[in-house]
Chain A
Amino acid sequence: MEKTVRLNADQREDLVAYLDGELPDEEVQQIDHIIARSEVARHEVEALARTWEMLDVLPSAKASDDFASKTMTNLKVMEAPFILEDQWWYPYLRRAAVICGWLLCLGFSGWLGFQIARNWVPNPDDELLKDLPVIENLDQYQDVREIEFLNLLKQSSVFDDAQEK
Protein backbone atom coordinates (compact mmCIF):
# COMPACT_ATOMS: atom_id res chain seq x y z
CA MET A 1 0.00 0.00 0.00
CA GLU A 2 1.26 3.45 -0.92
CA LYS A 3 2.03 5.87 1.88
CA THR A 4 -0.38 8.49 0.56
CA VAL A 5 -3.28 6.17 -0.25
CA ARG A 6 -6.45 7.10 1.63
CA LEU A 7 -8.41 4.41 3.38
CA ASN A 8 -11.84 3.39 2.16
CA ALA A 9 -14.92 3.10 4.39
CA ASP A 10 -14.53 -0.65 4.93
CA GLN A 11 -10.93 -0.27 5.95
CA ARG A 12 -11.83 2.53 8.35
CA GLU A 13 -14.55 0.37 9.87
CA ASP A 14 -11.98 -2.33 10.36
CA LEU A 15 -9.55 0.12 11.94
CA VAL A 16 -12.08 0.99 14.64
CA ALA A 17 -12.85 -2.67 15.27
CA TYR A 18 -9.10 -3.32 15.28
CA LEU A 19 -8.61 -0.72 18.01
CA ASP A 20 -11.49 -2.22 19.97
CA GLY A 21 -10.04 -5.70 19.73
CA GLU A 22 -13.10 -6.91 17.88
CA LEU A 23 -11.43 -8.27 14.76
CA PRO A 24 -10.56 -11.92 14.15
CA ASP A 25 -6.82 -12.76 14.18
CA GLU A 26 -6.61 -12.99 10.41
CA GLU A 27 -7.97 -9.53 9.90
CA VAL A 28 -5.82 -8.17 12.72
CA GLN A 29 -2.78 -9.38 10.80
CA GLN A 30 -4.06 -7.70 7.65
CA ILE A 31 -4.54 -4.41 9.51
CA ASP A 32 -1.09 -4.73 11.06
CA HIS A 33 0.25 -5.16 7.59
CA ILE A 34 -1.61 -2.10 6.29
CA ILE A 35 -0.46 0.03 9.24
CA ALA A 36 3.11 -1.03 8.74
CA ARG A 37 3.03 0.07 5.13
CA SER A 38 0.76 3.09 5.17
CA GLU A 39 1.47 6.35 6.92
CA VAL A 40 -2.14 7.40 6.32
CA ALA A 41 -3.43 4.31 8.08
CA ARG A 42 -1.00 4.85 10.94
CA HIS A 43 -2.13 8.43 11.35
CA GLU A 44 -5.75 7.31 11.14
CA VAL A 45 -5.31 4.71 13.86
CA GLU A 46 -3.45 7.16 16.06
CA ALA A 47 -6.09 9.86 15.63
CA LEU A 48 -8.93 7.44 16.30
CA ALA A 49 -7.23 6.10 19.39
CA ARG A 50 -6.38 9.48 20.82
CA THR A 51 -9.75 11.08 20.16
CA TRP A 52 -11.33 8.03 21.81
CA GLU A 53 -9.11 8.59 24.83
CA MET A 54 -10.31 12.18 24.97
CA LEU A 55 -13.73 10.88 25.95
CA ASP A 56 -12.19 10.01 29.30
CA VAL A 57 -12.57 13.66 30.32
CA LEU A 58 -16.35 13.34 30.22
CA PRO A 59 -17.70 13.51 33.76
CA SER A 60 -19.40 10.53 35.33
CA ALA A 61 -22.77 11.49 36.69
CA LYS A 62 -23.72 10.68 40.24
CA ALA A 63 -27.31 10.11 41.19
CA SER A 64 -28.54 12.18 44.12
CA ASP A 65 -27.92 10.73 47.57
CA ASP A 66 -31.56 9.91 48.15
CA PHE A 67 -32.06 8.38 44.70
CA ALA A 68 -32.29 4.78 45.94
CA SER A 69 -34.63 5.59 48.82
CA LYS A 70 -36.77 7.82 46.59
CA THR A 71 -36.98 5.07 44.00
CA MET A 72 -37.96 2.46 46.58
CA THR A 73 -40.60 4.80 48.03
CA ASN A 74 -42.05 5.39 44.57
CA LEU A 75 -42.10 1.65 43.98
CA LYS A 76 -44.01 1.15 47.23
CA VAL A 77 -46.50 3.81 46.22
CA MET A 78 -46.82 2.21 42.78
CA GLU A 79 -47.40 -1.21 44.32
CA ALA A 80 -49.69 -0.08 47.14
CA PRO A 81 -53.30 -1.20 46.77
CA PHE A 82 -55.66 1.55 45.77
CA ILE A 83 -57.84 2.60 48.71
CA LEU A 84 -60.43 5.14 47.71
CA GLU A 85 -60.90 6.56 51.20
CA ASP A 86 -57.17 7.25 51.49
CA GLN A 87 -57.03 9.50 48.46
CA TRP A 88 -56.63 13.19 49.20
CA TRP A 89 -59.43 14.05 46.82
CA TYR A 90 -61.89 11.58 48.34
CA PRO A 91 -63.70 14.11 50.67
CA TYR A 92 -64.17 16.47 47.74
CA LEU A 93 -65.46 13.65 45.56
CA ARG A 94 -67.84 12.59 48.30
CA ARG A 95 -69.18 16.11 48.77
CA ALA A 96 -69.63 16.51 45.02
CA ALA A 97 -71.44 13.16 44.89
CA VAL A 98 -73.84 14.24 47.68
CA ILE A 99 -74.57 17.54 45.91
CA CYS A 100 -75.14 15.70 42.63
CA GLY A 101 -77.45 13.27 44.43
CA TRP A 102 -79.54 16.06 45.82
CA LEU A 103 -79.68 17.80 42.47
CA LEU A 104 -80.82 14.56 40.86
CA CYS A 105 -83.52 14.08 43.51
CA LEU A 106 -84.68 17.63 43.00
CA GLY A 107 -84.80 17.18 39.24
CA PHE A 108 -86.68 13.90 39.53
CA SER A 109 -89.19 15.37 41.95
CA GLY A 110 -89.82 18.24 39.57
CA TRP A 111 -90.33 15.87 36.66
CA LEU A 112 -92.63 13.63 38.71
CA GLY A 113 -94.68 16.60 39.83
CA PHE A 114 -95.03 17.74 36.25
CA GLN A 115 -96.17 14.29 35.11
CA ILE A 116 -98.73 14.03 37.93
CA ALA A 117 -100.09 17.46 37.22
CA ARG A 118 -100.32 16.73 33.51
CA ASN A 119 -101.92 13.27 33.67
CA TRP A 120 -104.00 13.12 36.81
CA VAL A 121 -105.39 16.60 37.47
CA PRO A 122 -108.35 17.25 35.07
CA ASN A 123 -107.82 20.11 32.69
CA PRO A 124 -110.88 22.39 32.08
CA ASP A 125 -109.63 23.02 28.57
CA ASP A 126 -110.01 19.29 27.77
CA GLU A 127 -113.78 19.56 28.46
CA LEU A 128 -114.07 22.55 26.18
CA LEU A 129 -112.14 20.76 23.43
CA LYS A 130 -114.41 17.74 23.75
CA ASP A 131 -117.51 19.94 23.33
CA LEU A 132 -115.99 22.07 20.56
CA PRO A 133 -118.13 20.66 17.67
CA VAL A 134 -121.29 21.41 19.66
CA ILE A 135 -120.07 24.85 20.66
CA GLU A 136 -119.21 25.71 17.07
CA ASN A 137 -122.79 24.89 15.90
CA LEU A 138 -124.54 26.11 19.01
CA ASP A 139 -126.56 28.80 17.17
CA GLN A 140 -128.06 26.26 14.75
CA TYR A 141 -128.88 23.83 17.54
CA GLN A 142 -130.63 26.63 19.43
CA ASP A 143 -132.78 27.41 16.33
CA VAL A 144 -134.06 23.84 16.26
CA ARG A 145 -135.30 24.23 19.84
CA GLU A 146 -136.60 20.58 20.25
CA ILE A 147 -135.14 17.23 19.27
CA GLU A 148 -138.64 15.68 18.84
CA PHE A 149 -139.30 18.09 15.98
CA LEU A 150 -136.21 16.90 14.20
CA ASN A 151 -137.16 13.28 14.66
CA LEU A 152 -140.60 13.94 13.22
CA LEU A 153 -139.11 15.81 10.31
CA LYS A 154 -136.86 12.88 9.57
CA GLN A 155 -139.71 10.41 9.70
CA SER A 156 -141.89 12.55 7.38
CA SER A 157 -139.49 11.96 4.48
CA VAL A 158 -139.85 15.54 3.34
CA PHE A 159 -136.23 15.72 2.30
CA ASP A 160 -136.05 12.25 0.69
CA ASP A 161 -137.43 13.44 -2.68
CA ALA A 162 -135.08 16.38 -2.70
CA GLN A 163 -132.16 13.96 -2.20
CA GLU A 164 -133.36 11.66 -5.00
CA LYS A 165 -133.62 14.59 -7.34
Chain B
Amino acid sequence: MALTTTPPANVDESGFLHDPEVQLMLRVKQGDDDAFTKLVKTYQDRLATIFFHMTQNQEAAEDLAQDVFMRIYRARNGYQPTARFSTWLFRIANNLAINSHRNKARRKEVPLPVGETTSMSGVRPESQVLADKSALMPTRQIDKHELQLVVQKALEQLNERQRLTVLLHKFEGMSYSEIAETMEMTVPAVKSILSRARDTLRTALEPYMQMGK
Protein backbone atom coordinates (compact mmCIF):
# COMPACT_ATOMS: atom_id res chain seq x y z
CA MET B 1 0.00 0.00 0.00
CA ALA B 2 1.34 3.39 -0.94
CA LEU B 3 1.80 5.83 1.88
CA THR B 4 -0.91 8.41 2.00
CA THR B 5 0.34 11.86 2.84
CA THR B 6 -2.54 13.69 1.26
CA PRO B 7 -4.99 14.96 3.85
CA PRO B 8 -8.42 13.32 3.66
CA ALA B 9 -10.73 15.32 1.45
CA ASN B 10 -14.12 13.81 2.11
CA VAL B 11 -15.18 16.01 4.97
CA ASP B 12 -16.48 19.49 5.38
CA GLU B 13 -13.56 21.85 5.22
CA SER B 14 -14.91 24.70 7.29
CA GLY B 15 -15.32 22.66 10.47
CA PHE B 16 -11.63 21.99 10.83
CA LEU B 17 -10.30 25.50 10.55
CA HIS B 18 -10.98 26.01 14.26
CA ASP B 19 -8.80 23.04 15.16
CA PRO B 20 -5.69 24.64 16.76
CA GLU B 21 -3.50 21.96 15.23
CA VAL B 22 -4.89 22.70 11.79
CA GLN B 23 -4.00 26.33 12.43
CA LEU B 24 -0.49 25.28 13.38
CA MET B 25 -0.21 23.19 10.23
CA LEU B 26 -1.35 26.15 8.14
CA ARG B 27 1.43 28.17 9.74
CA VAL B 28 3.87 25.40 8.87
CA LYS B 29 2.64 25.67 5.30
CA GLN B 30 3.55 29.36 5.42
CA GLY B 31 7.09 28.42 6.49
CA ASP B 32 6.77 28.68 10.27
CA ASP B 33 9.04 25.93 11.63
CA ASP B 34 8.28 26.83 15.26
CA ALA B 35 4.70 25.80 14.61
CA PHE B 36 5.92 22.46 13.38
CA THR B 37 8.07 22.02 16.49
CA LYS B 38 4.91 22.55 18.54
CA LEU B 39 3.10 19.87 16.56
CA VAL B 40 6.01 17.48 17.02
CA LYS B 41 6.03 18.09 20.77
CA THR B 42 2.27 17.64 20.97
CA TYR B 43 2.28 14.29 19.21
CA GLN B 44 5.69 12.77 19.83
CA ASP B 45 4.74 10.80 22.96
CA ARG B 46 1.35 9.79 21.58
CA LEU B 47 2.91 8.45 18.40
CA ALA B 48 5.74 6.82 20.34
CA THR B 49 3.19 5.03 22.52
CA ILE B 50 1.24 3.71 19.54
CA PHE B 51 4.37 2.57 17.70
CA PHE B 52 5.92 1.15 20.85
CA HIS B 53 2.94 -1.11 21.37
CA MET B 54 3.03 -2.03 17.69
CA THR B 55 6.76 -2.82 17.53
CA GLN B 56 7.75 -3.59 21.14
CA ASN B 57 10.86 -1.57 20.50
CA GLN B 58 11.45 1.97 21.72
CA GLU B 59 14.06 2.82 19.10
CA ALA B 60 11.95 1.53 16.23
CA ALA B 61 8.94 3.38 17.67
CA GLU B 62 10.85 6.68 17.67
CA ASP B 63 12.15 6.08 14.15
CA LEU B 64 8.63 5.46 12.90
CA ALA B 65 7.32 8.51 14.76
CA GLN B 66 10.04 10.61 13.18
CA ASP B 67 9.16 9.20 9.80
CA VAL B 68 5.57 10.33 10.28
CA PHE B 69 6.69 13.89 11.01
CA MET B 70 9.05 13.84 8.03
CA ARG B 71 6.20 12.85 5.73
CA ILE B 72 3.94 15.52 7.14
CA TYR B 73 6.62 18.16 6.76
CA ARG B 74 7.32 17.12 3.20
CA ALA B 75 3.61 17.31 2.37
CA ARG B 76 3.16 20.75 4.01
CA ASN B 77 3.03 22.72 0.77
CA GLY B 78 0.02 20.77 -0.47
CA TYR B 79 -1.74 20.74 2.89
CA GLN B 80 -5.48 21.44 2.84
CA PRO B 81 -7.40 21.59 6.13
CA THR B 82 -10.03 19.05 5.15
CA ALA B 83 -9.88 16.93 8.30
CA ARG B 84 -8.71 17.04 11.88
CA PHE B 85 -4.94 17.17 11.94
CA SER B 86 -4.79 14.10 14.17
CA THR B 87 -6.81 12.08 11.65
CA TRP B 88 -4.28 12.85 8.96
CA LEU B 89 -1.34 12.17 11.24
CA PHE B 90 -2.64 8.82 12.43
CA ARG B 91 -3.54 7.81 8.91
CA ILE B 92 0.10 8.28 7.94
CA ALA B 93 1.08 6.40 11.10
CA ASN B 94 -1.26 3.57 10.14
CA ASN B 95 0.24 3.28 6.67
CA LEU B 96 3.75 3.37 8.06
CA ALA B 97 2.93 0.70 10.63
CA ILE B 98 1.50 -1.55 7.91
CA ASN B 99 4.54 -1.02 5.68
CA SER B 100 6.91 -1.55 8.58
CA HIS B 101 5.18 -4.79 9.49
CA ARG B 102 5.26 -5.91 5.87
CA ASN B 103 8.98 -5.17 5.57
CA LYS B 104 9.62 -6.93 8.84
CA ALA B 105 7.73 -9.98 7.65
CA ARG B 106 9.69 -9.92 4.41
CA ARG B 107 12.95 -9.95 6.36
CA LYS B 108 11.49 -12.71 8.56
CA GLU B 109 12.59 -10.99 11.72
CA VAL B 110 11.94 -12.77 14.97
CA PRO B 111 10.84 -10.21 17.55
CA LEU B 112 12.54 -10.47 20.90
CA PRO B 113 10.30 -11.13 23.82
CA VAL B 114 8.94 -8.12 25.62
CA GLY B 115 11.32 -6.88 28.28
CA GLU B 116 14.47 -7.77 26.40
CA THR B 117 14.07 -5.19 23.72
CA THR B 118 13.41 -2.17 25.83
CA SER B 119 13.46 -0.60 29.19
CA MET B 120 10.26 1.22 28.41
CA SER B 121 7.94 -1.09 30.20
CA GLY B 122 10.38 -1.56 33.02
CA VAL B 123 10.03 -5.30 32.48
CA ARG B 124 13.23 -7.23 33.02
CA PRO B 125 13.98 -10.78 31.95
CA GLU B 126 13.39 -11.96 35.51
CA SER B 127 9.92 -10.48 35.27
CA GLN B 128 9.39 -12.67 32.26
CA VAL B 129 10.07 -15.65 34.47
CA LEU B 130 7.64 -14.31 37.03
CA ALA B 131 5.02 -13.79 34.40
CA ASP B 132 5.47 -17.31 33.18
CA LYS B 133 4.96 -18.43 36.73
CA SER B 134 1.82 -16.33 36.78
CA ALA B 135 0.59 -18.09 33.72
CA LEU B 136 1.01 -21.38 35.52
CA MET B 137 -0.66 -20.09 38.66
CA PRO B 138 -3.29 -17.62 37.56
CA THR B 139 -4.76 -17.35 41.01
CA ARG B 140 -1.50 -16.12 42.49
CA GLN B 141 -1.36 -12.42 43.28
CA ILE B 142 0.68 -10.64 40.63
CA ASP B 143 2.26 -7.21 40.71
CA LYS B 144 1.85 -4.39 38.25
CA HIS B 145 4.89 -5.27 36.15
CA GLU B 146 3.70 -8.79 35.70
CA LEU B 147 0.24 -7.60 34.82
CA GLN B 148 1.74 -5.24 32.26
CA LEU B 149 3.54 -8.16 30.71
CA VAL B 150 0.42 -10.28 30.65
CA VAL B 151 -1.58 -7.50 29.01
CA GLN B 152 1.23 -6.85 26.55
CA LYS B 153 1.26 -10.51 25.62
CA ALA B 154 -2.51 -10.45 25.18
CA LEU B 155 -2.14 -7.44 22.91
CA GLU B 156 0.44 -9.30 20.86
CA GLN B 157 -2.13 -11.97 20.10
CA LEU B 158 -4.01 -9.42 18.01
CA ASN B 159 -3.12 -8.91 14.39
CA GLU B 160 -1.66 -5.55 13.31
CA ARG B 161 -4.96 -4.04 12.28
CA GLN B 162 -6.78 -5.16 15.41
CA ARG B 163 -3.96 -3.91 17.60
CA LEU B 164 -3.86 -0.48 15.99
CA THR B 165 -7.62 -0.19 16.19
CA VAL B 166 -7.52 -1.05 19.88
CA LEU B 167 -4.68 1.40 20.52
CA LEU B 168 -6.39 4.25 18.68
CA HIS B 169 -9.58 3.58 20.57
CA LYS B 170 -7.96 3.09 23.96
CA PHE B 171 -5.08 5.57 23.94
CA GLU B 172 -6.35 8.18 21.50
CA GLY B 173 -9.99 7.90 22.53
CA MET B 174 -11.05 7.81 18.89
CA SER B 175 -14.65 7.03 18.04
CA TYR B 176 -15.51 4.30 15.54
CA SER B 177 -16.05 6.86 12.78
CA GLU B 178 -12.71 8.55 13.50
CA ILE B 179 -10.93 5.19 13.44
CA ALA B 180 -12.74 4.35 10.20
CA GLU B 181 -11.55 7.59 8.63
CA THR B 182 -8.01 7.16 9.92
CA MET B 183 -7.67 3.55 8.85
CA GLU B 184 -9.67 3.99 5.67
CA MET B 185 -12.34 1.45 6.61
CA THR B 186 -16.09 1.49 7.10
CA VAL B 187 -17.62 1.96 10.55
CA PRO B 188 -19.11 -1.58 10.55
CA ALA B 189 -15.65 -2.93 9.75
CA VAL B 190 -14.22 -1.05 12.74
CA LYS B 191 -17.03 -2.39 14.91
CA SER B 192 -16.31 -5.92 13.79
CA ILE B 193 -12.53 -5.60 14.23
CA LEU B 194 -12.89 -4.13 17.71
CA SER B 195 -15.34 -6.80 18.71
CA ARG B 196 -13.05 -9.62 17.62
CA ALA B 197 -10.04 -7.93 19.19
CA ARG B 198 -11.78 -7.46 22.50
CA ASP B 199 -13.03 -11.00 22.46
CA THR B 200 -9.43 -12.18 22.04
CA LEU B 201 -8.31 -9.88 24.84
CA ARG B 202 -11.10 -11.09 27.07
CA THR B 203 -10.11 -14.73 26.51
CA ALA B 204 -6.47 -13.96 27.23
CA LEU B 205 -7.03 -11.70 30.23
CA GLU B 206 -10.04 -13.19 31.94
CA PRO B 207 -7.95 -15.51 34.15
CA TYR B 208 -6.13 -12.43 35.47
CA MET B 209 -9.18 -10.25 36.04
CA GLN B 210 -9.24 -10.66 39.79
CA MET B 211 -5.50 -10.01 40.06
CA GLY B 212 -5.71 -6.86 38.00
CA LYS B 213 -8.08 -5.24 40.46
Contacts and interface: CB of A to CB of B under 8 A. Distances in A.
Contact of A60 (B37, B45, B122): B45
A72 B41 CA distance: 11
A52 B171 CA distance: 12
A47 B207 CA distance: 10
B33 A72 contact: yes
Contacts, number: 118
A13 B69 contact: no
Interface of A: 12-13, 15-17, 20, 22, 47-48, 50-55, 57-64, 67-68, 70-72, 74-75, 78-79
16 contacts: A13-B191, A16-B194, A17-B195, A51-B201, A57-B212, A58-B152, A58-B155, A59-B120, A63-B48, A63-B65, A68-B40, A68-B44, A71-B44, A72-B36, A75-B33, A75-B69
Interface of B: 33, 36-37, 40-41, 44-45, 47-49, 51-53, 58, 61-62, 65-66, 69-70, 73-74, 120-122, 144, 147-148, 151-152, 155, 166, 169-171, 175-176, 191-192, 194-195, 198-199, 201-202, 204-206, 208-209, 212
Given A17-B176, A67-B48, 18 more contacts: A15-B195, A16-B191, A16-B199, A48-B202, A50-B212, A51-B198, A52-B170, A52-B201, A54-B151, A55-B201, A57-B212, A61-B49, A61-B53, A64-B62, A67-B44, A68-B41, A70-B66, A74-B66
